[in-house]
Structure 1
Amino acid sequence: MKDWLRKHPDVRTIRVAAADLNGQARGKRVPARFAEKVVKDGTRFPFSVLNLDIWGEDIDDSPLVFEQGDADGVLKPTERGFMPMPWLEAPTALLPIWMFRENGQPYEGDPRHALRAVVERYKARGLTPVCAMELEFFLIDDSGKTMQVPASPRSGKRRKAAETLSIRALDAFDTFFTDLYDACEAMDIPADTTTSETGLGQFEVNLMHCDDALRAADDAWLFKMLVKGLARRHGFAASFMAKPYLEYSGSGLHTHFSVLDTKGDNIFDSGGPKGTAQLRHAVAGCLNAMHDSTLLFAPHFNSYERLVPDKHAPTAISWGYENRTAAIRIPAGNPAARRIEHRVAGGDVNPYLMLAAILGAALTGIEDEIEPPPAVTGNAYAMDLPQIPASWEAAIDAFEHSDILYRFLPKELIRNLVQTKRQELHYIAELSPEERVELYLDTV
């Protein structure tokens, strides 16, 4: 890490930042000349900082605040190390950190540690998850009273219709996407294909698969930070909120994963299109936990405006082969790459918690060797199937009273997140629809 700073003498300040439960970056600005101290000793801030609400406020009656004297945790650099922040004017470095207790034990309320614990359970069985994510987002001109697609820097015109897989839509913002790919390369984020999507000014960027689940979640967290910051530098907003426009489809964050054994072989590969028994067990585990873990896939009020029938987001707890109306899709293709696509999450999620929920649930299915219901064919929206919670309040209730989630998520994290979401649920009722959009547009 010290070598990175020596190679970048123009960097004058650093940011040290950890993800809170909402995926917000919380941390400090430090002059570069004191960076080595941070690398060696870490930094400190209260445990409660990883448990703030979406406005950045303390949680009322949280035991982390006055009951425990608002005690500090110790935050240490993750294995990611320093990276540039290309969306800022001055040369600046970001150092991702995560939280530990004074005795060196991981703090269980840290979402990155929740994912680490799930990955360690896989490792104990000689298994390695391989993950890739697809992130959808909107480019938005929010300078006026109503949101609209930004004017193209090339033509000055605004396209007021969805342009699915349109090369013209991509070319209209070529300068932005060229800068985005350059920034991803500088930050070592494996950005692959970009497409225009079905929403107004909506795009999707795929991140390459990775056999380190923590790094995959890091990539998604950092990518969201980068896209939002870089868009502002270009004069418009980028938003991962689930549903900025009610009349268009929302933004998802689809996760693809397979699992390797100690030989490096994909345990889902049967040599044919259907996959192995272990693939079915993993699917069953995901389906069994889906209702109770929906809060991690749809964590905000606005999230549930995306999860409606016939809008390219799943509503039924179901799975199928090559079926995008189902919550879980098994893509076709080379059997050696057989994988599961989990399609429930919106773009507004905390990637660490989302991935911990998906991989944790899949592992319970593998461990218990349970079988899923029959795969659906045709339109899952039109079938009589168990449903994902249709409201934020119902999802909070299901998460709070779940039994299965305790198999792969820490009790303290579950408690903290429930308190956070109940506080947000209370105060969101005081906001107008316009104020809710303003709240979520830049935060999530």
Structure 2
Amino acid sequence: MSGRKLNLTSIEEVRSYVIDNNPKHIKVGVFDIDGVLRGKFISRDKFLSAIDNGYGFCNALLGWDVSDTLYDNSEYTGWHTGFPDANLRIIPESGLILPFQNETLFFASEFVGTAEAICPRGVLRRVLQRASDMGFSIKAAMEFEFFMFRESSDTVTEKDFKNLRTLSPGSFSYSVLRSLVQEGLYQEILDTFDSIGIDLEGLHAETGPGVVETAIAVDSALGMADKASIFKAFMKILAQNRGLMATFMAKWNEDLSGQSGHTHMSLWSNDGRPLFYDASAEHSMSEVMRHFLGGQLAYLRDFAAMVAPNINSYSRLTPGYWAPTAATWGIDNRTVGIRVIPGSAKSQRLEYRVPGSDVNPYLSMAAAIGSGLLGIEKKIDPGAISVGNAYAKEVPESRRLPSNLETSAVLFGASAEAKDLFGEAFVRHFADSRSFEARQFARAVTDWELRRYFEIL
């Protein structure tokens, strides 16, 4: 089935559309701290009321992890608060007809009121407002790699996630054979997202059994984060409707490369002039571009929790697996943390290569842009360029990425710059949520431990 983007821009247009089309129920959703889409069906009358007055989800939605386990260290919510509702507003421009069987009317939402301080979309909006106040706007694009399996949620559980059947065997990057054998699937992906206004400018097989990579066409930073979040959620639905599964884990198998969520971005003036290009400068990098890059590099370590937000994120950030391990930069160099891509005035850009496909797009985008703005404000120079293999480059500890989530959480929670950019309430809440995740993992007994220690010790 094909969906449809509604192109509504105001509450008045949304109200008129619902009254004219008279759907009995409407699906509403919101992305939580981990980028998971949570939602429910509400009646037409309740939706019309929500347009004006908002609606609520239990605020536990912002106080639990991906398995619905409550954080034990959240100030915002917990048993001590009684779990009141968190208020949300409908986002008019998010309206679409879902591209699935029943062609349901859908709207995304964002948190308001006290919950807005820790709402991921709200965090990005505040960073973008800071950019606008400085005279800047940002264009961005995201790429995602994801593994696909001939499995279901039942079979992966029954198999205990072992011996999983991938969509295709072997590594065959950019394979025409694979993409044409799977042409029905590839075409369905392209058609589905095109129908709801998400233009996939690239789709191909990547390195690894069953790996697919897509690139979402450039948009405003907020528009891109919206599209990237919807893409991840709907791609998993599309796959399961076909009897398949897609995972956006940063690394699902220790012997295979991880899955990236690379982010491309460029800075523009509010009146539409590109600001990263200077034909007279080395590598055509304007002073603004150098300072923006300098800020991204300077704060990559402290903000790592936002771009590597899960335990598994750090399994991907290892040498030799196409993922960076330090805050390095280079010209068209894929071994660095941030790749400068030379081009024309309109196409010159930065590729932020640290995020995996497991990121919450709103938060990874906020970290990448916010750190760049700090670089402009403080006139931070990016330092020495990396040439050749950046993995072999000696870098100071301040430019090394943390090796685990626990360290990232501590660094993020202590960062004065993070509190200035993202708000103290968000920094405290998010740092605590990552510390909780790290403690959950510390309690686990893994297969590796059993194989290594069970008999011999």
Do the structures match in fold with TM over 0.5? yes
Work out the CA distance in 1 between the residues paired with 2:165 and 2:329.
34
Q: Which amino acid aligns with 2:394?
A: D
| Pairing of 1:393-408 with structure 2 (within 5 A) | 393-408=406-421
SS at match of 1:374: coil
SS at match of 2:130: helix
Q: Which digits, 9 at most, give the CA deviation of each residue in 1:236-295, with x for residues without a partner? A: 101110011211111111111111113311110112633101111001100111001111
| Pairing of 1:215-234 with structure 2 (within 5 A) | 215-234=223-242
CA contact (8 A) 2:330 2:386 kept: yes
| Counterpart in the other structure of 1:252 | 260
CA 1:340–1:430 in structure 2 vs 1: closer, same or farther (change >3 Å)? same
Q: Which moved more, 1:331-340 or 1:318-327?
A: 331-340
Work out the CA distance in 2 between the residues paired with 1:431 and 1:371.
42
Kindly state the Cα deviation for residue 128 of structure 1 after the two structures are TM-superposed: 0.6
| Counterpart in the other structure of 1:438 | none
Which of 284, 296, 299 is the matching residue for 1:289?
299
CA contact (8 A) 1:23 1:351 kept: yes
| Counterpart in the other structure of 2:111 | 99
| Counterpart in the other structure of 2:351 | 341
CA 1:100–1:304 in structure 2 vs 1: closer, same or farther (change >3 Å)? same
CA 1:237–1:350 in structure 2 vs 1: closer, same or farther (change >3 Å)? same
User: TM-score normalized by structure 2?
Assistant: 0.87
| Pairing of 1:353-368 with structure 2 (within 5 A) | 353-368=363-378
| Pairing of 1:185-224 with structure 2 (within 5 A) | 185-210=194-219, 212-224=220-232
Where structure 1 has 5 or more consecutive residues not aligned to the other structure, the ranges are 152-158, 436-444
Work out the CA distance in 1 between the residues paired with 2:373 and 2:382.
14
Q: Is 2:433 the partner of 1:420?
A: yes
Q: How many residues align?
A: 422
Which of 376, 385, 402 is the matching residue for 1:389?
402
Kindly state the Cα deviation for residue 12 of structure 1 after the two structures are TM-superposed: 4.8
Work out the CA distance in 1 between the residues paired with 2:303 and 2:179.
35
Q: Is 2:71 the partner of 1:59?
A: yes
SS at match of 2:117: coil
Work out the CA distance in 1 between the residues paired with 2:335 and 2:21.
48
Identity level (%)? 29
Q: Which amino acid aligns with 1:389?
A: P
Work out the CA distance in 2 between the residues paired with 1:106 and 1:118.
17
SS at match of 2:208: coil
Q: Which amino acid aligns with 1:199?
A: G
CA contact (8 A) 1:12 1:91 kept: no
| Counterpart in the other structure of 2:11 | none
SS at match of 2:325: coil
Q: Which amino acid aligns with 1:184?
A: F
Q: Which moved more, 1:11-20 or 1:116-125?
A: 11-20
CA contact (8 A) 1:190 1:219 kept: no
| Counterpart in the other structure of 1:130 | 139
Q: Which digits, 9 at most, give the CA deviation of each residue in 1:168-224, with x for residues without a partner? A: 1212322222222222122211221112111221111111111x2211100000000
Kindly state the Cα deviation for residue 414 of structure 1 after the two structures are TM-superposed: 1.2
Q: Is 2:148 the partner of 1:139?
A: yes
| Counterpart in the other structure of 2:381 | 371
| Pairing of 1:61-76 with structure 2 (within 5 A) | 61-63=73-75, 64-76=77-89
Kindly state the Cα deviation for residue 322 of structure 1 after the two structures are TM-superposed: 0.5
| Counterpart in the other structure of 2:126 | 117
CA contact (8 A) 2:86 2:115 kept: no
SS at match of 2:408: helix
Q: Which amino acid aligns with 1:298?
A: A
Which of 266, 270, 276 is the matching residue for 1:262?
270
Work out the CA distance in 2 between the residues paired with 1:208 and 1:192.
5
Q: Which digits, 9 at most, give the CA deviation of each residue in 1:8-30, with x for residues without a partner? A: 66x55322111111111223221
Which of 234, 244, 249 is the matching residue for 1:236?
244
Q: Which digits, 9 at most, give the CA deviation of each residue in 1:45-95, with x for residues without a partner? A: 2334223212122221423223333232321112423212224x3232221
Work out the CA distance in 2 between the residues paired with 1:30 and 1:331.
46
Work out the CA distance in 2 between the residues paired with 1:429 and 1:196.
35
Work out the CA distance in 2 between the residues paired with 1:192 and 1:67.
48
Work out the CA distance in 2 between the residues paired with 1:243 and 1:4.
43
SS at match of 1:67: coil
Q: Is 2:203 the partner of 1:164?
A: no
| Counterpart in the other structure of 1:380 | 390
Q: Which moved more, 1:375-384 or 1:402-411?
A: 402-411
CA 1:329–1:40 in structure 2 vs 1: closer, same or farther (change >3 Å)? same
CA contact (8 A) 2:87 2:115 kept: no
| Counterpart in the other structure of 2:93 | 80
Kindly state the Cα deviation for residue 410 of structure 1 after the two structures are TM-superposed: 1.3
CA 1:43–1:247 in structure 2 vs 1: closer, same or farther (change >3 Å)? same
CA 1:280–1:405 in structure 2 vs 1: closer, same or farther (change >3 Å)? same
Where structure 2 has 5 or more consecutive residues not aligned to the other structure, the ranges are 1-13, 449-457
Work out the CA distance in 1 between the residues paired with 2:21 and 2:194.
16
CA contact (8 A) 2:73 2:433 kept: no
CA contact (8 A) 1:51 1:417 kept: no
SS at match of 1:253: coil
Q: Which moved more, 1:384-393 or 1:300-309?
A: 384-393
Kindly state the Cα deviation for residue 164 of structure 1 after the two structures are TM-superposed: 0.9
User: TM-score normalized by structure 1?
Assistant: 0.90
| Counterpart in the other structure of 1:332 | 342
CA contact (8 A) 1:242 1:302 kept: yes
| Counterpart in the other structure of 1:184 | 193
CA contact (8 A) 1:85 1:91 kept: yes
CA contact (8 A) 1:26 1:50 kept: no
